[in-house]
Each structure stands twice: as C-alpha cells, then as structure tokens.
Amino acid sequence: MNIPFTKMHGLGNSYIYIDGFKVNLLEQDLPEIARQASNVHTGIGSDGLIMVLPSEVADVRMRIFNRDGSEAMNCGNGLRCVAKFAYESRYVQQKTFYIEAKSGVVQATVHLDDDQLVESVTVDMGEPILARSTIPMETESGGLFDEVIHEPFRVDGDDYHVTAVSMGNPHAIFFQEQIKDAPLYTLGPKVTNDDRFPEGVNVEFVEVVKHDEINFRVWERGSGITQACGTGACAAVVASSLNGYLERDQEVTVHLDGGDLWITWLGSGSVSMRGPAVTIAQGNLWV
C-alpha cells in the first residue's frame, strides 16, 4: 500500500502526518503503520504518526500514535503541526479554529510569515486535570480527588517526590536542581510503566531557572526520549505553579532539548501554549 505523507516537527518532536481528508486508513492497522513509519531504519523515522481527519464536532480532528503504536489522548506539538497542516491545506479558512483531539476540543490560532505560511501557533490547551483518580494515578495514600503535589514516590529503594498533572494525557513531573543531572535514562523507563500509573505516564524532569523560566527534559510514554513534549511542557508549568515556583497568568519560557515554548497557565484555568510548527518533507510511505 502506498500512503502519501508529510513529515513535520514541533521543536524536534517529529511525526508522520497522513491526510485523512484524502487517504482512508480507517480499515487499516494504524498502530502497525505508526510503528513502521516511525522506525528510523526500516521506515521514515519519527516519534510517531498523526492522522489529520474530518471532524463532526470541530474544524479538524487529530489522532496521534506513539512510536510503539499506542494511541495517545493528546499531543501539544502535534496540535500545532495539525493547525499548520489544516490551514495551509485550506481545510480551514480562518486563522482561529478548533481541533478535536481524543481528550477534547481545543482552539488554535495560526501566525503567518511574510510568505503567508504558518510559522507558529497558539493553542488554548484547556484546563489541566489534577485529581489523582483522573490522572489516573493509584497510590496507597491520598484520596481519589486529591491533587498529587510533591508526593513521596519511591522507585527501587530511592526516594523521589512527584507532582502529577494531566493535559488529557498523564504526566509525572520531578523537579531537579540541575536538568543536566536528570536521571532520564534510568528513571524514565521505570516510571513510565510504573503500576501506580495504570495507563502509563509521560515522565518529565524540570529545573526552575527563575520565576518565568524553566528547563525541561522528557521520557515520553510510548516513544521514549523526545526533543520536546508540548503537553508535557504545559504540565510542567502547572506543576511548577502548584509547587509555588511560578505565578499564574505569567508567560513562562520553557527550554526543551529541541527549543523553546511559551506557556501561560491563565487565571481563567486554561493553559495557553505558543510555539513553532515546521514542515520537513513530503513523500510516499510503502506499507
């Protein structure tokens, strides 16, 4: 089967985008296609695959599959690239429109360069989900509706403290004195599959630089270490505020391995994310 694709990235978090307005893959094994496409040796190479589809409740729909083929509830870098893809494909005419993710509908606004191409996108990511049972996270202590803020979290005999936030997808945030010392390779794979997170979890390490600036690294559920994670960056800003490191309504610069995002946890409750979206290549994928 020959599938036209577009490879795009947000701060190096790349996905293979398939135009579901033109290609009908609904009968196909999307997790397997995602695994094949993501493989850097036998496929194209990416952090996963994203379908851009018609929606019955919004202007366009996003389905995201991680490198391992698992389908995720949300994807911040993916939403910005879907917005760019949909606007430049003329599936939407206005600069502000709505995207349906598995976790819900978000509002996106595209920002154009001199050539009328989308160079960056602002997404209203909606409100973070903080109650333990909806992250979801299961631990001996704490009530179902409690928030998980700086909670003791033992892994293989070592003691840590975790803050858990969902942006529609689950995130476990660990604060570090210095991000360069983050135990990404050791703690990442252990925590992402920890039984206390029954649906798995994206694992983030955060260093607070100052009241409006943090450093960030991520081990993603289903994809491993990536250059950036938009939902993770949003969760990290929320977690930093919950722990008293940052103020609400303050635009925070988040330094990720692949570059910077600008995130604000608005007083209204919503989290606003602004950042780039880039088209890398187009081609045909043989599966």
Ligand X SMILES: N[C@H](CCC[C@H](N)C(=O)O)C(=O)O
Contact 218, 2 (CB under 8 A): no
The one catalytic residue among 11, 33, 37, 75: 75
Would you say 202 or 215 has its CB closer to ligand X?
Answer: 202
H/E stretch holding 36 reads helix 30-38
> Minimum CB separation from ligand X for residue 12, in Å?
10
Query: Binding site for substrate, residues?
Result: 13, 66, 76-77, 169, 202, 220-221, 230-231
75: annotated active-site residue: yes
Integer Cα distance of 263 and 275 in angstroms: 9
Task: List residues near ligand X by CB under 6 A.
Answer: 13, 66, 72, 75-78, 169, 202, 220-223, 226, 229-232
Q: Which of 123, 125, 208, 229 is catalytic?
A: 229
Q: What is the H or E stretch that residue 84 is in?
A: helix 76-88
By beta-carbon proximity to ligand X, the closer residue of 77 and 241 is: 77
Is residue 184 within 8 Å of 29, Cβ to Cβ?
no
Nearer to ligand X, 53 or 172 (CB): 172
Bridge pairing between strands 96-101 and 60-66: parallel
Residues at the binding site are 13, 66, 76-77, 169, 202, 220-221, 230-231
The rounded distance, in Å, linking the Cα atoms of 201 and 245 is 23
CB of 103 to ligand X, least distance (A): 9
10 Å CB burial of residue 52 (0-12, 13-18, 19+) is buried
**Is residue 144 helix, strand or coil?**
coil
In the complex, the smallest distance separating the C-beta of residue 42 from ligand X, rounded to whole angstroms, is 21
Q: Minimum distance from CB of 221 to ligand X (Å)?
A: 4
Residue 103 makes CB contacts below 8 A (sequence gap 6+) with 73, 74, 167, 168, 169
Q: Given the structure tokens 């602004």, which residue do they identify?
A: 274
Cβ closest to ligand X, residue 5 vs residue 15: 15
| Catalytic site positions | 75, 229
